């Protein structure tokens, strides 16, 4: 299978601290890949490195091209999208306007010209993106009137509006209840079925195991396991990474049903 997004031996260190250590991850065309691991494992750092925001060694490939030397803006233009772990919406703007700000790739001269001549046109893709995520009726609603679940969907829609080939989502389900998280998962699957590849970082293990085709597990900046969800959740190294650290939070994240009865 062709990889849309791939890191080859990518490493990042902050000061003397190694945050990522020779990490290989592949996101194949049409795939939803989960990237999981305990707090501080390096998940956000991986997304930052891929987007060109964290200084890294190793290589990043997008759609068969080596993009390691490209700026973050050039990587975005090449079709790489992302969301942020603590993403905020523009509260005073409507949902449609929030997407328009992200999707607008018109050059500055054109925006000025359109403003002067009154020949404004909406950037393409906004309505179809809202419909795809099942929030087509929210276009005119102000961001500050949205529920938490709707906000997350708008955050994902904002990353999709420019039409990326692959999008990395950093904890889009944080703060959602089980029902909202399940709905988000269904919508993400729907997006992947349209041909956009996706990498999903989340602590909601139910969501990851339900919707992902492939799961990669990081611990202390290293890949400790990767494979189909069923195999990864039973992997002793994964169970140890989540439970061995004695993190109650991690125990809750994996969930008794998710890790089976062997633990």
> Which residues sit at the interface with ligand ATP, rule CB under 6 A?
14, 17, 19, 37, 39-45, 85
Q: How far apart are CA 72 and CA 56, in angstroms?
A: 13
Q: If contact means CB under 5 to 8 A according to the sort of partner, which of ligand ATP, Mg ion, none does residue 113 touch? A: none
- If the CB atoms of residues 37 and 206 are measured against ligand ATP, the closer one turns out to be 37
* Partner residues linked to 142 by β-bridges: 94
Tokens, residue 170: 């950093």
Write the DSSP string, 210-263: HH-SEEEEEETTEEEEEE-HHHHHH-HHHHHHHHTT--HHHHHHH-HHHH-TT-
Min CB(198)–ligand ATP separation in Å: 17
| Closest CB 38 distance from ligand ATP, rounded Å | 7
Q: Tell me which H or E stretch contains 27.
A: strand 17-28
Interacting partner of 34 out of ligand ATP, Mg ion, none (Cβ under 5 to 8 A depending on kind): none
Question: Interface with Mg ion includes 45 (CB under 5 A)?
Answer: no
Which option in ligand ATP, Mg ion, none does residue 14 bind, with CB closer than 5 to 8 A by kind?
ligand ATP
Rounded distance between C-alpha atoms, residue 243 and residue 60, angstroms: 32
Pick between residue 43 and residue 187 the one whose CB is nearest to Mg ion. 43
Q: Shortest distance, CB of residue 55 to ligand ATP, whole angstroms?
A: 11
Minimum gap (Å) between residue 115 Cβ and ligand ATP = 37
Binding mask 51-90 for Mg ion (x = CB under 5 A): ----------------------------------x-----
Radius of gyration, CA atoms only, the chain: 19
Tell which one of 7, 26, 31, 44 touches Mg ion (CB under 5 A): 44
- Rounded-to-integer distance, Cα 112 and Cα 24, Å: 43
Which of 200, 256, 252 shows the shortest CA–CA distance to 233? Answer: 256
* Contact residues for Mg ion, defined by CB under 5 A: 43-44, 85
């Amino acid at each position: 299978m062709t990889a849309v997004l791939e890191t080859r031996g990518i490493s990042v260190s902050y000061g003397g601290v190694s945050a990522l250590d020779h990490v290989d991850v592949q996101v194949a065309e049409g795939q939803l890949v989960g990237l999981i691991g305990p707090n501080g494992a390096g998940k956000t750092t991986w997304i930052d490195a891929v987007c060109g925001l964290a200084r890294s060694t190793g290589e990043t490939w997008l759609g068969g091209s080596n993009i390691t030397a490209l700026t973050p803006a050039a990587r975005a233009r090449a079709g790489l999208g992302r969301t942020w772990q603590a993403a905020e919406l523009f509260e005073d703007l409507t949902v449609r306007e929030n997407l328009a700000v992200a999707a607008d790739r018109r050059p500055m001269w054109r925006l000025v010209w359109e403003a002067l001549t009154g020949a404004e046109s909406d950037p393409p893709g906004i309505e179809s993106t809202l419909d795809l995520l099942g929030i087509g009726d929210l276009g005119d609603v102000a961001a500050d009137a949205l529920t938490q679940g709707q906000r997350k969907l708008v955050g994902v829609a904002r990353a999709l509006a420019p039409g990326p080939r692959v999008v990395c989502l950093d904890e889009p389900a944080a703060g959602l209840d089980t029902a909202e998280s399940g709905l988000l998962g269904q919508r993400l699957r729907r997006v992947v079925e349209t041909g956009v590849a996706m990498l999903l970082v989340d602590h909601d293990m139910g969501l990851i195991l339900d919707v992902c085709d492939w799961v990669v597990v990081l611990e202390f900046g290293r890949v400790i396991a990767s494979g189909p969800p069923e195999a990864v959740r039973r992997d002793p190294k994964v169970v140890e990474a989540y439970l061995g650290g004695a993190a109650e939070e991690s125990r809750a994240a994996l969930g008794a049903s998710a890790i089976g009865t062997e633990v």
